[in-house]
Amino acid sequence: MKTSLSKQQDNRKEIELFIGPQHPASGHMRFIGRVDGDIFTNFIPDPGWVHRGIEKIAENRKWIQIIPLVERAAILDAANMNIGYVIALEKLLDIEPPPRAQYLRTLLCEINRITSHLYGFGIAGIMIGSSTFYMWPFADREPLIDIAQLITGARLTYSYMIPGGVRRDLPQGFKEKALKALKYIERRLNNDYFRIFFDNPVTKARYQEVGVLKRDDAIRLGIVGPNLRASNVKYDVRKVEPYAAYPELEFDIAYEKEGDCYARLLVRVEEIRQSIKIIRQILDALPQGPIIHKKYEKLVSLRKLEEYQKTGIFGLPAIFTVLRPPAGEVISRVEAARGELIFHIISTGELRPYRLRMVTPSFRNIVLFRELISGARVMDFPAIYGSIDYFPPESDR
């Protein structure tokens, strides 16, 4: 006896639910879930829709040309992607940037961390239906992007760090502008954001005790960044293996105990506060001196040197076009906004790297979808996704 198609479906207990791939939230990404009633019985993330092959392209680029390339992994966290690669390259070249350059690098990284977290808040807001909290953090990124633009000359793709230092010094009157922007963002964060979103009972109802990640699970799965710290693990590469100017700066690791969606959000709030604290310290204690390693300072033309002394814009020395780091293998670890970023580079002493491996934080956090959403309700999916702050282009690379 034939049964109609709809009848067949009626008999099926579970249905398959596809989410994406057309930009479900923060980027192109597909999820395949099996739904029993209102509960996901199985949930599989299916990444790869924005794969650009950065690792492969890097094998065809000169060392210096990879700087803008790795930034494209996470465009809103460009400075942190940049510093990871440059630190690895400096390890190969065996040079150490001067203190002022270290501080300037840290400054840009922290500005970027704030803008990246604000972006994450916006996405989290719209995913649970708060369009006000989508607009506010996105708009409030603007003052910070503005001050980053003053340092680097670009809004998002800074390409600011080069082996041996940074490309530009701070412009005149930067400190006052930066302090104003920090004050603004601090007030918005501590008053307005809490009133409209974090203390809002709707947010709490959607976020608290949803998507709980236990401490042991977080460690077992190798979760990184704020998601790990929200499960009561105090692990931050800036403290564990300090780089740039972090050893000299005072800040605390933000962490929460609960491990639910709300805790993940609060960790980011606290991280922004810590970043503000770090930027203030940098602005106060910025050491004087050159922004580029002595070795390279001697190599630029006289006309460029004059410009550098006058305006603080350092030209690239011609040697960067034929940079050949000695053969070797290095690993660098930095704390990007979404967690630990690892570069593993193999050099054979050629113009181009033999292999560049880039392990991004979102790539390591992707397993959370499977872990947290299997067993959760369908309506908890946006809440959990928003709280993870997952960024597909960063994961796909």
Partner 1 sequence: MIIKIINNFYHHIRAILIGLKYLLSPGIRITLKYPDELPILPENYRGMLKLNNELCISCGLCSQICPAGAINLKLFEHEQTKQVGRHPEVDYKRCIFCGFCIDICPSKALELTRIHDAAFYVEDELYYEVNRLIIGPKIDPPCMRSKYVISEIDEVRGIVYRNA
What is the x/- site pattern for partner 1, positions 69-108, by CB under 8 A? x---------------------------------------
C-alpha span between 340 and 333 (Å, rounded): 7
How far CA 193 is from CA of 27, 182, 199, in Å, comes to 24, 15, 8
Nearer to partner 1, 69 or 388 (CB): 69
Provide the residue type at 131 as one letter: S
**Interaction between residue 16 and partner 1 (CB under 8 A):** no
- Segment interacting with partner 1 (CB under 8 A) among 108-116, 180-188, 218-226, 387-395: 180-188
- Segment interacting with partner 1 (CB under 8 A) among 27-35, 135-143, 244-252, 338-346: 135-143
Which of 159, 227, 332, 395 lies at the binding interface for partner 1 (CB under 8 A)? Answer: 159
**Interaction between residue 245 and partner 1 (CB under 8 A):** no
- Segment interacting with partner 1 (CB under 8 A) among 282-290, 307-315, 377-385, 387-395: 307-315
HSE, CB side, 13 Å, CA atoms: give it for residue 284.
9
- Segment interacting with partner 1 (CB under 8 A) among 119-127, 177-185, 227-235, 330-338: 177-185
Instruction: Reduce the DSSP state of residue 77 to 3 states and report it.
Output: helix
Can you list the alpha helix ranges (DSSP code H) found in the chain?
A: 5-11, 54-58, 66-71, 78-93, 99-127, 132-152, 174-187, 201-207, 215-221, 226-229, 237-240, 261-285, 294-297, 302-311, 361-365, 367-368, 380-388, 392-396
Nearest alpha-carbon partner for 55 in 77, 73, 29, 82: 73
To the nearest whole angstrom, how small is the minimum distance from the Cβ of residue 252 to partner 1? 26
List interacting residues with partner 1 (CB under 8 A). 61-62, 64-69, 132, 139-140, 142-143, 146-147, 149-150, 152-154, 157, 159, 167-168, 171, 177, 180-181, 183-184, 187-188, 191-192, 195-197, 199-202, 300-301, 303-304, 307, 311, 313-318, 320-321
